[in-house]
Amino acid sequence: MNRIILFAIITILAVSNTSAKERPKGSIKGAVFEKVQVSFKKSDSSLLHLAVAVKKDSFFVIGARGGFMPNTYYTVLKELVDPSSDDFLKRKPNVDYVAIQKESEEDSGKTIWGLYSESNKEYITDSSGAFIAFPGEGRRGAKPSDSIKAIRDKDYPNARIKPLSAFNVIAKDLATVRTRFEFPDKDWIVLILEDGFNKDYLYELRSLMRVIKTTGFKHIQVGRNLGNLDTARSVIGTYRLYDFKKKELQDLYDELYRPLNLKMPKIQIPNY
């Protein structure tokens, strides 16, 4: 699936995470806040300022250097668990965030189908590094298109056709932005969330956190969005790092950080 990086001029206003207002009140059970000494100033104009914001049940958007990429729209597919099974009460159903193609905000979208290698456990890409993927046919793209079937049959007979993961799309786009140039803060990223999340929702986002880590980011911060999440421009417009209630911070740590052996990083800016 071809994606064109179209950066528009907007401003990312990340409020400093060193103010007293942003420090979490009280301690978090088992949490580790990592204090990282960095060699750059927060006012450094060469910083990447990379962030990915999540609009629940709608889209992801990546922001960097005062601009943003096109929305990655998705739909959530949840596994149906048999209530008569022995582990029904303990088991969490599998949840897939599937990429969809939309022609407009009002469009319900069509599932994007990609070629998947069972042996390599990854989606297949072409010579340019783009996913071999096409929107489906029928209502909401419920069936793979003839185009992707033809490519599979001709060039990848052992591949499986499956819905393209939105998390994989985000991971590829993040890697593209991160490696385009050498940025002082290329190992840093902010995950921006809406208010009102719960542990089940954070559990679903763990796969997103995992692909961010796998992409190479060493320091993943989390922020609360302060703007209007209905438009891509304002999603990454303003946010405040770690500006959550104590219980929310605990849930964030328990569901996103601790299972992946990650720490909540705090930047320590050197004095020049």
Q: Which pLDDT tens digits describe the chain residue by residue (272 residues)?
A: 444 333 332 233 333 333 333 444 456 777 778 888 888 887 788 888 899 999 888 999 998 887 788 899 999 998 665 556 666 556 677 889 999 999 888 899 999 999 999 888 899 999 999 999 999 999 999 999 999 999 999 999 999 999 999 999 999 999 998 888 788 999 999 999 987 889 999 999 999 999 999 999 999 999 988 765 555 455 455 788 888 888 999 999 999 999 999 989 987 766 54
pLDDT of residue 260: 96
End-to-end CA distance of the chain: 46
pLDDT at 2: 42
The whole-angstrom separation of Cα 177 and Cα 209 is: 17
- State the Cα–Cα distance between residues 35 and 19, nearest whole angstrom: 15
Residue 98, pLDDT score: 96
The pLDDT, as a whole number, for residue 3 is 43
Closest Cα partner for 135 from 114, 112, 119, 157?
A: 112
What is the pLDDT, as a whole number, of residue 6?
A: 30
What pLDDT sits at residue 83?
Answer: 59
Helix axes 166-180, 206-215, angle to 10 degrees: 30
| pLDDT the model gives residue 143 | 95
